[in-house]
Amino acid sequence: MTDTLTIPRPDDWHLHLRDGAMLKGVVGHTAAHFARAIVMPNLVPPVVTGADAAAYRDRIRAAIPASMDFEPLMTLYLTEATDADDVALAQASGLVKAVKLYPAGATTNSQSGVSNLDKVHGVLERMADIGLPLCVHGEVTDPDIDIFDREAAFIDRVLDPLRRRLPGLGVVMEHVTTADAVAYVQADTSGNLAATITTHHLIINRNHILAGGIRPHYYCLPVAKREKHRLALRSAACSDDERFFLGTDSAPHTDTAKLLPCGCAGIFTAPNTMSCLAHVFEEDDALDKLENFASRNGPAFYKMPVNSEMMILKKQPEPVSYPEQIETGAGTVTVFDPGFDLFWRVES
């Protein structure tokens, strides 16, 4: 058994950094370990235009600690008023790497999202033409669909019909949570479909949220599902299938906001993600597959180079200590607790 693992510095292909004081409080925890990250655009107001994305990128860069090297990869929030020319210009400039589809009302700050896909068909068609990926929050919001079935329903009702209409459109199914989504990606032969998997969905199932009392710090959207789905995600992540890669969906909310009667959805995993992943992959006898999942598969899909800088993870005899909470200018944020001791630490 090895106690040292050296991999290219990883990237995070799905990240929430928020804005203002929260941005300043959390960005360093990602920049400490990750070279690049696809940054979600669901601010208030959302990042809709190329000008919005440029301004947000500048605020992120200003918040990165001076000792750290980190590149934010910007996205645009798709609305029914999105301008296809603006999207194309933002991509051509090198600023924007993807466009994000939020079904209206599906998750945090998704009120400006899309209710009718027909109204954005022209934008999606243009994206297919220029090779700009669409990142999807894959849940329907119909009130008649059980929350645990929303991802499977999205595939059948929305995603598969969309991809049949636009087979050339690159799609990333973000933060997949079900065996249904894993099977859908595995069955694809187009080369235009991939999926991100979060750290926490590899570790928790819905019992962690509900059994023995409600645990709001395990509540996220899409919500964690049954154990069989967690195991399907673990199998996919550890399989060496290049269509699956890391997107932490690290999503900071203040503890005050998490503990409201209608608490916010999101789990903050940035500080301890790499320790958690090394534990998971070692547990599944797949430590040699972590490099592809965290460092290689994402750049391959996004047609970007693998990072040349290396990360060293070392296993130590005593547990690694992570703070239960971090302090930000916006308030305290609880760090994800995997429920077990972590022995792998990032050395460099």
* Bridge partners of residue 335, in order along the sequence: 268
Range of the domain at 140: 4-346
pLDDT in tens, 186-243: 999 999 999 999 999 999 999 999 999 999 999 999 999 999 999 999 999 999 999 9
What is the helix, strand, coil percentage profile of the chain, to 5?
Answer: 35, 20, 45
The domain spanning residue 167 has which CATH number? 3.20.20.140
Active site residues: 249
Query: How many structural domains is the chain composed of?
Result: 1
Phi, psi of 17 (to 5 degrees): -110, -10
pLDDT one-digit tens code per residue, 90-147: 999 999 999 999 987 766 666 778 888 999 999 999 999 999 999 999 999 888 999 9
Going 183 to 265 to 44 to 139, the CA torsion angle's sign is: positive
Nearest-angstrom CA–CA distance, 86 and 248: 28
pLDDT tens sequence across 259-313: 999 999 999 999 999 999 999 999 999 999 999 999 999 999 999 999 999 999 9
Q: What is the pLDDT of residues 81-102, one digit of tens each?
A: 999 999 999 999 999 999 999 9
Q: Which contiguous run of DSSP H or E holds residue 144? A: none
Long-range (24+ apart) CB contacts under 8 A made by 204-208 are: 204/230, 204/339, 205/229, 205/230, 206/148, 208/339
Is 0.85 surpassed by the pTM of this model? yes
